[in-house]
Amino acid sequence: MKKILLATHNRDKAREFQMLLAGLDIEVLTLDAFPQVGELVEDGESLDENALRKARETWRITGLPALADDTGLEVFYLNKAPGVYSARFAGPGATYASNCRKLLAELRGVPPRRRNAQFRCVLALVGWSTEVILAEGVCTGTITESPRGTNGFGYDPLFLPSGCTHTYAEMEDESKNRISHRGKAAREMKALIAKSGILTKS
């Protein structure tokens, strides 16, 4: 069976990907079994650049087709910040909680109609075929005035997707995956993998 290695040390993302890539005739591996892959640096200036770097580095070290994701939360009132800096928004040693606190502080007093935002996820698959495969998914929504829900990770308690009454963190995994930025990008990636014809060649 063909293999794809998820180029992330983030267990929350890996868990979502395991669900999202189910159904393809592929064994989806995580970095847990590859300690030789150290920290994957994300210091590029765009999501595409970071996703590509992480996938290339993982492929270089392991020789396995590597799938990396880079995600940014773009808040329009903040000129699309934190964007590519979403993981480090609260500075060195930032955590999910400190990033959420900082975001709420930056938006204090901003009314709901001006709290529009979007999650953008870029996926890069390197080493699968001769070409790099890229996919993107966007989910629009608003930033709540206080955290809601305990599921998910990162900014999930603050993100209310458009047309929804529940934040990402108030949804079950399956509901989040159906509408999320990562879900959309993963479905596009699955279609591109299927279209590559490589699965039928084995």
Q: Which of 57, 70, 74, 170 binds ligand IMP (CB under 6 A)?
A: 70
Alpha carbon distance 59, 54 (integer Å): 9
96 binds ligand IMP (CB under 6 A): yes
What burial class does residue 188 get, using C-beta atoms within 10 Å of its C-beta: 0-12 exposed, 13-18 middle, 19+ buried? middle
Q: At what angle do helices 11-20 and 181-195 cross, to 10 degrees?
A: 50
Check if the beta carbon of residue 1 is closer than 8 Å to that of residue 25: yes
57 binds ligand IMP (CB under 6 A): no
Query: Which part of the chain contacts ligand IMP (CB under 6 A), choosing from 30-38, 128-136, 143-151, 153-161?
Result: 153-161
170 binds ligand IMP (CB under 6 A): no
Half-sphere exposure of 147 (CA within 13 A, CB side): 19
Q: Which of 156, 160, 184, 186 binds ligand IMP (CB under 6 A)?
A: 156
Nearest to 58 by CA among 85, 83, 30, 22: 30
Task: Tell me, by CB under 6 A, how many residues bind ligand IMP.
Answer: 17
The 8-class DSSP code of residue 40 comes to P
* Residues of the chain by 3-state class (helix, strand, coil), percent to 5: 40, 25, 35
107 binds ligand IMP (CB under 6 A): no
Query: Which part of the chain contacts ligand IMP (CB under 6 A), choosing from 64-72, 107-115, 127-135, 186-194?
Result: 64-72
Q: Which of 9, 10, 106, 148 binds ligand IMP (CB under 6 A)?
A: 10
Which listed residue (43, 70, 156, 173) is catalytic? 70
Please indicate whether residue 32 is annotated as part of the active site.
Answer: no
17 binds ligand IMP (CB under 6 A): no
Considering the complex, state which of residue 188 and residue 196 has its C-beta at the smaller distance from ligand IMP: 188
Nearest to 122 by CA among 132, 108, 109, 137: 137
Residue nearest to ligand IMP (CB): 154
Give catalytic residue positions: 70
Residues in the site for ligand IMP, rule: CB under 6 A? Answer: 10, 42, 69-71, 73, 86-87, 96, 99, 152-156, 168, 182
